[in-house]
Amino acid sequence: MQEKLTDALRALKARTEAFLASRVLTKDDDWADSIGRAVSMQTAADDVVRAVVQQARHNGATWQVIGDALGVSRQAAFQRYGKPIDPRTGEPMNTTPLPRVVELAASVIEDLASGRWTRVTEQFDPAMRDGLSEDALAAAWAQLVGLSGAFEGRGEPEVARAGDVTITNTPLLFEAGDYTARIAFRDDRTIAGLHILEGHTS
């Protein structure tokens, strides 16, 4: 455990020294190298945080204590740094969200707001297709508009991997109400769950 932290600190030090040793750029220079070095420092710094969190957990720190230190909820801390074990297999679970899931969720919400019900339901997995028809989806969206007025926009989604799906929670803004679109995506990019929750979740 201590070795991971030591290795992470060494990597951060090496990347920082490399960044400081690189020449200062003028406005006419290509900034790509400096940006790349800065990103590598950011990655190395996150590795240090990850190693410290793992060491803290090994020594008995709770996720609440870790979350407080990070300025996030204990659930958010766990989702970012935890290593959940799959109760079905006893193996570590995949915690990496589906690539480009933010864009995928935005596309679904745009289709909902534009009344393109078929485009949404075509993305449903078999269980969703059996449980939610195109007409029922349209009626649910119409109910939201009836309660809170026209759709005005969306906020930035929160993303987390949960078992076999990636879940996005996207704030939705209506004329007279706030909601959250919770969409669960399978790794094949089909929709395994779609819920509109009242208020903004965190």
**pLDDT tens profile 120-166:** 999 999 999 999 999 999 999 999 999 999 999 999 999 999 889 99
pTM above 0.95, yes or no: no
Question: Please, are residues 40 and 8 in contact by the beta-carbon 8 Å criterion?
Answer: no
**Contacts within 8 Å (CB) and 24+ apart, 76-83:** 77/53, 79/160, 79/161, 81/49, 81/50, 81/53, 81/54
CB atoms within 10 A of CB 135: 10
- With a pLDDT cut of 90, the percent of the chain lying above it is 53
